[in-house]
Amino acid sequence: MNISMKRIKAFFLDVFRNFRSKFIFMTALVLIDVQRGLQEIAFYGTERNNPEAEENCGRLLNYFRKNQLPVFHVKHNSTNLSSPLHPSKLGNDFHSAAQPMINETIFEKAVNSAFIGTNLEASLKAQNITDLVIAGLTIEHCISTSVRMASNLGFNVVLVSDATAAFDKMGYDGNKYPAEVIFHAELANLQDEFASIKDTETLLSELDKLF
């Protein structure tokens, strides 16, 4: 009986180790457009929700670094000379909460999708990465586009809800839609069909169980 129990325990321990190994080598954090210029609210609207989004991106980044999981940064270089994200502006710089380290890959883009005009897809697949944790700004532009495309390319995606944000918008009908409305509508559109939606605390708690 004791021998059988030891074998059962050994079996489940091996299963756990294999699962943990799979997670470590097949999951990556992709931070998109965590840049200073996206705090310049007046350029994009009149309000922005989730002021803590960048700090939560930083929490995710620190966790992935601590556990030696792969990290990729994506930076937007706007072609609009007046944009805070134009390469000539200070707003193009990475936010202090998510500054890349020298050994972390940076992809630069000029469109909404992190996969267009970059080698992100090829780099992920070259490392056999199948699962992505995506965070960054903004949900109605580059995050939504990149999450949808990541899913269409075959990646399993977790979008971290409180590590992204939205600006308010003026609609085609002349009505102004608050940032919170835009934000939750985008999450509702992405949930299940393109991504699992989790907040930072929930995701980190789940990850803690693997380490």
Locus of tokens 């929930």:
202
- The structural architecture, per CATH, of the domain 26-208 is 3-Layer(aba) Sandwich (3.40)
Q: Is the distance from CB of 76 to CB of 109 less than 8 angstroms?
A: yes
Query: Residue 131: beta bridge partners?
Result: 27, 156
Q: Is the distance from CB of 73 to CB of 100 less than 8 angstroms?
A: yes
Count Cβ neighbours within 10 Å for each residue of 146-165 and write b for 16 or more, e otherwise.
bbbbbbeeebebbbbbbbbb
Looking at residue 71, what DSSP letter applies?
E
The answer, as to whether pTM is greater than 0.85, is yes
Looking at residue 18, what DSSP letter applies?
H
- pLDDT at position 1 is 46
Cα torsion angle, 55, 60, 63, 65, sign: negative
The rounded distance, in Å, linking the Cα atoms of 167 and 71 is: 26
Residues 6+ apart with CB under 8 A from 145: 112, 113
Q: What is the pLDDT along the chain (211 residues), one digit of tens a residue?
A: 455 665 655 444 444 445 455 555 589 999 999 999 999 999 999 999 999 999 999 999 999 999 999 999 999 999 999 999 999 999 999 999 999 999 999 999 999 999 999 999 999 999 999 999 999 999 999 999 999 999 999 999 999 999 999 999 999 999 999 999 999 999 999 999 999 999 999 999 999 887 7
For the chain, percent helix, then strand, then coil, each to nearest 5? 45, 20, 35
Take residue 70 and report the two structure tokens written for it: 């792969």
Closest CA to 160 of 129, 106, 196, 192: 196
Helices (H), 35-143: 41-44, 53-66, 120-126
**Sequence spans of domains, the chain:** 26-208
- pLDDT at position 209 is 84
